[in-house]
Amino acid sequence: MVFASNTHELLLRIVSALPRRPLRILASDGEFHSFRRQAARWEEAGSVVVERVPMERLVARAASGEHDLIFASHVQFGTGRVFDGIAELAALARPDGPWVVIDGYHGFMAMETDLSAVADRVFYLAGGYKYAMAGEGCAFLHAPPGFGPRPEITGWYAEFDDLSLPPGSVGYAPDARRFLGATFDPSGIYRFVAVRDMLADEGLATAQIAAHSAALRDRLLAEHPLEAELLNPGSPARFVAFRSPEAARWKAALEADDIIVDVRGDVLRIGFGLYQDPRDVVRLVEALADIAGR
């Protein structure tokens, strides 16, 4: 495990450790902005060739052997759908390529996740945002042994084990610290530790938090009046995603009533957390009935 200020800088170091240029990347077509933007810019520069496919086709395309890096979100940020092909991707991963990177941003501490069976073959990125409740400045990477021993983008923290090397040598730590950068503010990590300690004191693990949120989600799904397409039925994600041409209008109307939701294009996203209870769902359903009738 290695920490950084954000997952973007960890992504840069992973990519820098792959030798091929242009790099051949396979990704789902629903990746979060941090990867989407960087990948698009790399494409403009000719550094990478990116193939984007629907989540359902990711494993089949990965099996072609035509890619150096396979990038997939565990939970798709736009739809709340969960990718269930991690084990299949891991079976394809090799130190000489392809590498598999799982973006845990919308899954970490949102639902129970056990990747121990594939930890020796996949990278996992996540951080303190969202459900981890620690805010900015705390991102982390799990790096499988033997994958990318010498990232090209590197900082002096990565050679703590080799500070006695002769001048001019570029050493690396033998574990995940090989992906470290340089000096950063550790406040986010302290906040993360404090949150984890608080949850432990309250007897709250991810399973209990997810169960609380699921009860609220299920009540909303049973009672909401919206005429919209539910994009993630049966998903354990901590938010529901409704597609409708009215999504932006609904969001604005709810915000006017001091109810904060999110919109991605024509998708209205409504999330649930520890700080809500059934009374909040009652109020939300009433507000939705009001705006749906306008």
Token pair for 149: 């021993």
Instruction: For residue 160, name the pLDDT band (cuts at 50, 70, 90).
Output: confident
Q: Mark which of 174, 196, 218 sits at the end of a domain.
A: 196
Which pTM does this prediction carry?
Answer: 0.93
DSSP letter string over the chain? -EEES-HHHHHHHHHHT---SSEEEEEETT--HHHHHHHHHHHHHTSEEEEEE-GGGHHHHHTTS--SEEEEESB-TTT-PBP--HHHHHHH--TTS-EEEEE-TTTTTTS----GGGTTTEEEEEESSGGG---TT-EEEE--TTS-SS-SS--GGGGGGGTTSPTT-----SSGGGG--S---THHHHHHHHHHHHHHHTT--HHHHHHHHHHHHHHHHHH----SEES-TT--SSEEEEE-TTHHHHHHHHHHTT---EEETTEEEEE--TT--HHHHHHHHHHHHHHHT-
How high is the pLDDT of residue 34?
85
Distance CA 162, CA 165 (A): 6
For 108, how many CA atoms within 13 A lie in the half-sphere containing its CB?
22
Span 172-223, pLDDT tens digits? 999 999 999 999 999 999 999 999 999 999 999 999 999 999 999 999 999 9
Give yes or no: residues 186 and 260 share one domain: no
Q: Residue 164's pLDDT band (boundaries 50, 70, 90)?
A: low
Cα angle for residues 104, 150, 30 (degrees, 5° grid)? 25
Q: Are 140 and 216 contained in the same domain?
A: no
- Which of 169, 196, 223 marks a domain boundary? 196
pLDDT per position as a tens digit, 84-137:
999 999 999 999 999 999 999 999 999 999 999 999 999 999 999 889 999 999
Q: Is the pLDDT of residue 163 over 70?
A: no
Number of domains in the chain: 2
**Same domain, residue pair 214 and 236:** yes
Angle between helices 247-256 and 278-292 in degrees, nearest 10: 120
Return the CATH number at 273. 3.90.1150.10
- Give yes or no: residues 212 and 142 share one domain: no
Average pLDDT over residues 45-72: 97
Q: Are residues 190 and 211 in the same domain?
A: no
Percent of the chain surpassing pLDDT 70: 98
Given pLDDT bands bounded at 50, 70 and 90, which one contains residue 294? low
Same domain (yes/no): 231, 185 = no
Count of CB atoms situated within 10 Å of the CB of 79: 21
Q: How far is residue 14's CA from residue 177's CA, in Å, rounded to a whole number?
A: 12
* Residue ranges making up the domain that contains 214: 206-292
pLDDT band at residue 283 under the 50/70/90 scheme: very high
Average pLDDT of the chain to the nearest whole number = 95
pLDDT number for residue 168? 75
Residue where a domain terminates, one of 163, 196, 229: 196
Q: Residues 129, 242: one domain? A: no
Per-residue pLDDT at 167: 74
Q: Which residues pair with 73 in a beta bridge?
A: 103
Confidence at residue 165, expressed as pLDDT on a 0 to 100 scale:
67
pLDDT in tens, 10-58: 999 999 999 999 999 999 999 988 899 999 999 999 999 999 999 999 9
- Both 177 and 248 in a single domain? no
